[in-house]
Amino acid sequence: METLGWMGSHWFELLQTLSIVFGILTAVHSIREDTKERRIGNLFTLTNAHRAIWWKLYEQDELTRILKSHVNLVREPVTTHEELFVHSLILHLRAAFKARALGMQFDDDAVSADVRETLALPIPAYVWEKSKRYQDMDFVSFVDACLKNEDDTKRAA
């Protein structure tokens, strides 16, 4: 009975409090939904950038050597087009690495395998060794760890 009396005399304050709580809960829900939408948008943006970079490989015949595992770089040095393409890959990989550090979710095993399979090839390996001094140490450590796992895998085979 006492509670009803209190509610009767303080109904306006109670209504204000409930409105404020409802407003806060609505804001929290909106922020979560916006965050989810941004993450999805970021994933699509990163995927489109990945597709655009790799599509160059199929459009430009002069880049086909990049994915070959047996290339004589002494006889046929890395071309400017090949080097620019690999730099694009490295910059894209760095952006993905930074996005991951900021909370974007990736399949770490798949990313590591992609780094191993790509940057272990002769042309990408040459460009990576030449350009890694311009990258931040965390990224270099990540890529080198991925490549080291490739070396471990080759030894085990």
Cα(first)–Cα(last) distance of the chain, in Å? Answer: 80
Under 8 Å between Cβ of 66 and 82: yes
What are the structure tokens assigned to 147, written together? 């490549």
Residues in the chain: 157
Q: What's the pLDDT score for residue 153?
A: 42
Q: What's the pLDDT score for residue 1?
A: 58
Q: What's the pLDDT score for residue 83?
A: 96
**pLDDT tens, 42-75?**
778 888 888 898 899 889 989 999 999 999 999 9
**pLDDT under 70: residue ranges of the chain:** 1, 150-157
- Give the residue among 146, 47, 23 at the shortest CA–CA distance from 96: 47
Q: What's the pLDDT score for residue 79?
A: 95
Q: What's the pLDDT score for residue 138?
A: 93
What are the structure tokens assigned to 156, written together? 């085990």
pTM assigned to the model: 0.72
